[in-house]
Amino acid sequence: MPSLLLSIEGIVLSKELSGDSWLRLIVFSAQNGNVLCLKRLSQRKSLDSSIDFFDELQLNLESRNQGRSWFISEYHHLNNSQEIGKNYDALIHASRFTKILAGNTLHEESRRPVYQLFKNALSAWRTGIRPEVTLLKSIYILARDEGYPVKEDWCEKLPTRDRASLRSILSSPVVEQKTSEQEAHSLLLSLEHYLNHYTDIQMPT
């Protein structure tokens, strides 16, 4: 049976060694969602630094098992997010969102808007400004785009002050946030608890 060929643009969610000579990547694409990709390492048991977390890539792929996994035949960078790794808080919050995407299968119709959401979030995390706010907004929009009633159910059940804080966060750019970091973290924990218990979106531990 002939190999399948696929060309995608995607953002790296995870990377790890697979055996002695392969790099295993999960790449999120607007067309295909999460795609398992394998890249041959140039040096034995060396984690390839040419591809990193959060990189946006153009990939040419080949599959020999009917699309269950894909081998990278060619790639080039469209964007990288090295600045995120220089800011600990930004790195922690960006990594949490990538784990959410890697651990959940999105509806086909929401992949493209979530891909753009992810790109916008990475741009915000590169600045290092209020990374917890970017994560809260990103998870909220992700859940909304997946069809869950976060506004009608979760938001409406919040205490009045928390609802006001949330509306301020959602309506203001990151650089204009007035809500405290503590309030944003409290809302983030509440939203993650809601999604874990009342939706199919699973939060990483």
pLDDT score, position 159: 97
Each residue of 126-149: pLDDT tens digit? 999 999 999 999 999 999 999 999
Q: Is the pLDDT of residue 29 over 80?
A: yes
The verdict on residue 69 lying in a domain is yes
Q: Lowest-confidence range among 42-46, 79-83, 185-189?
A: 42-46
Q: What is the pLDDT of residue 67?
A: 79
- pLDDT tops 60 at residue 178: yes
Query: Of 79, 104, 128, which residue is a domain's last?
Result: 79
Report the pLDDT value the prediction gives residue 174, as an integer from 0 to 100. 93
Predicted structure pTM score: 0.91
Q: What average pLDDT does the segment 20-41 reach?
A: 92
Q: Region 44-53: what's the mean pLDDT?
A: 68
Only one residue has tokens 């890697």, namely 102
Please compute the mean of the pLDDT values over residues 174-188 and round it to a whole number.
Answer: 96
Q: Say if residue 52 is in the same domain as residue 89.
A: no
Residues 15 and 61 in one domain: yes
187 and 91 within one domain? yes
| Residue 110 belongs to domain spanning | 83-198
Q: Is the dihedral of CA 67, 68, 71, 77 positive or negative?
A: positive
Q: Percent of the chain having pLDDT more than 70?
A: 96
Same domain, 59 and 90: no
Would you say residue 203 lies in a domain?
no
Residues 106 and 142 in one domain: yes
How do residues 63-116 score in pLDDT, each as one tens digit? Answer: 988 878 899 999 999 999 899 999 999 999 999 999 999 999 999 999 999 999
Is residue 61 classed as helix, strand or coil in its secondary structure? Answer: strand
Interior/surface letters 127-151, b for 16+ CB within 10 angstroms, e for the rest: eebbbbbbbbbbbbbbbebbebebe
Does residue 190 form part of some domain? Answer: yes
Of 47-56, 82-91, 112-121, 195-204, give the lowest mean pLDDT range: 47-56
Predicted local confidence at residue 45, as pLDDT: 47
152 and 92: one domain?
A: yes
pLDDT confidence of residue 20:
75
- 193 shares its domain with 94: yes
Domain count, the chain: 2
Predicted pLDDT at 166: 97
- Looking from the CA of 26 toward its CB, the CA atoms found within 13 Å total 13
Contact 119, 80 (CB under 8 A): no
Tell whether 96 and 132 lie within a shared domain: yes
Q: Is the pLDDT of residue 2 over 90?
A: no
pLDDT computed for residue 116 by the predictor: 98
Within-domain flag for 204: no
